[in-house]
Structure 1
C-alpha cells in the first residue's frame, strides 16, 4: 500500500469510543488470532470495549485517533511509564490498526504524534513480528525484560522494547 497523507490525527473524545473499540477488536483478531488457539478471540465485543474506552478517555488518558473520510482507522495511547522499573519516563501504551491500513503510514503518524522522538518504551507480544519490525525501524530495541500478559485470558509472553 502506498503511504497515505490523508489521515487526520487528533485527540480522542468519549464520542469516539465505539469506533476505537471496533478498531481494537479488528486489530486484535487479525494480529493475535494466529498467535492464539482457534476461537480464543471470538467473544471479543466492541460494545463492551467501547464502555471501557469511554471511561479511559473520560479519565484523561492520552488517546489519539487517526481518521480518514470513512472514520477512525487507528488509535494510539501513551503517557508516563506505568511500570515501577520503567527504563525511561514515557511509555507507548499501544498502537492498533486493522490490516487494511497497514503500510499506509498511519502507524508512523500516530507514533510521531504520541511520543515524537522522545525516549520511550513499550511492551509487544512475543511473536508479533510485524509490530516488532516497525518499532525497530523507529529505534526501539529489546532490553531483555519479559513478562506474562493475558491476551483473551491466555497467558502470553510480552517483551519490552526501549528507545533511549
Structure 2
C-alpha cells in the first residue's frame, strides 16, 4: 500500500470547520475552474465556506451523515448527506450533498469509503455537474444513474447539474 492510500475516516467537530472549507474550495477550483469565474475561488469565497462549515458544525443537532477523511495528519476529503435540499420534487428521501476529495487522494479508496460511510447501501439522490465525467463514472460504479432532471447551479449561468439516483 502506498503512503497516500493510508487514510482514516471520522466524524468532524467544530475545530475541523476551516480545514473542511479549505478542502471544499480547493476541490471546487480543481473541478470547476473551467466553468466558474475566479470569484468562486477567492479569499471571500473561502471565508464564506468557513462560515458555512462553522455554522453547520456548531449546530445543536450535529450532522449525522457527515464524515471527513484524514491522511498525513490533515483532512483531505469529506462527504455529507441528509434530507434532500433545494429540490422541489426529490426522487429519494436521502441526498448526498457533497463528496469532495483532494485530487492527489482520488483513486486511493478514500472517496469510496466516504460514500459508504454516509450512504451505506441506501437509495439516494445527488446532483452533479453535467461536465464532470470523473464523478459520473464514480457514481455509476456505485449504482447511480441520471433520472432526466437538470438545473443550473444557483448563482451561475453555465454550471448545469444533473440528478443521479439509485
TM-score normalised by structure 2 residue count: 0.87
Whichever structure has more strand as a proportion of its residues is 1
Q: Does 1:121 align with 2:128?
A: no
Q: What is the CA deviation profile of residues 110-151 of structure 1, one whole-angstrom value per residue up to 9, with x for unaligned ones?
A: 00000011100000011011111100010000000011113x
Contact 1:3 1:103 in 2 (8 A): no
Contact 1:8 1:67 in 2 (8 A): yes
Partner of 1:161: 164
Q: CA deviation at 1:34?
A: 2.0
Match of 1:142 among 119, 140, 146: 146
Please tell me the root mean square deviation across aligned C-alpha atoms, in Å: 2.0
What is the DSSP-based 3-state SS (H/G/I as helix, E as strand, rest coil) of the residue aligned with 1:147?
Answer: strand
Partner of 2:79: 76
C-alpha distance in 1, partners of 2:129/2:57? 24
**Structure 2: gaps of 5 or more residues:** none
Cα 1:125–1:3, aligned 2, differ >3 Å: closer, same or farther?
farther
Aligned length: 160
What is the DSSP-based 3-state SS (H/G/I as helix, E as strand, rest coil) of the residue aligned with 1:154?
Answer: coil
**Structure 1: gaps of 5 or more residues:** none
